[in-house]
């Protein structure tokens, strides 16, 4: 799981250097290119951080459960993971579509 998380984070990190390759909702013109690309890069960095934290937590929880012979995941953490992934995505997509 940690390997998959690392691969995803590295891929998003590399994609962050090529904002013109992203599929954005707005038509990119010379006037709005800087704004659109900067917002898209901020969104990608925040999502990358959320993914890194999520995979780190899930990996450590898997090891902890394996060592203790239990199978449990905190129910509240599911909500935290979903909110941390989709809240920035929703916020920045609305922000990108607005301008």
State mean pLDDT over 4-11. Answer: 87
pLDDT tens for each residue of 50-94: 888 888 888 888 888 888 887 777 778 888 888 988 898 888 888
Q: Which of 5-14, 17-26, 28-37 has the lowest mean pLDDT?
A: 17-26
99 has pLDDT over 70: no
Whole-prediction pTM: 0.77
Residue 13: partners with Cβ closer than 8 Å, 6 or more residues away = 48
Rounded distance between C-alpha atoms, residue 64 and residue 82, angstroms: 22
Backbone angles phi, psi at 23, to 5 degrees: -90, 95
Residues of the chain with pLDDT > 70: what percent?
A: 99
SS3 category, 69: coil
- Supply the mean pLDDT for the chain: 85
| Domains in the chain: boundaries | 2-18+31-98
Q: What is the dihedral of CA 63, 67, 71, 73, to 10 degrees?
A: -40
């Amino acid at each position: 799981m940690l390997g998959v998380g690392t691969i995803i984070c590295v891929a998003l990190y590399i994609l962050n250097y090529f904002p013109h390759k992203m599929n954005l909702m707005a038509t990119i013109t010379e006037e709005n290119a800087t704004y659109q690309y900067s917002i898209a890069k901020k969104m990608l960095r925040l999502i990358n951080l959320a993914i890194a934290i999520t995979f780190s937590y899930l990996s450590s929880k898997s090891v902890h459960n394996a060592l203790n012979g239990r199978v449990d995941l905190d129910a509240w953490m599911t909500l935290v993971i979903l909110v941390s992934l989709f809240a920035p995505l929703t916020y920045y997509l609305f922000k990108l579509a607005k301008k």
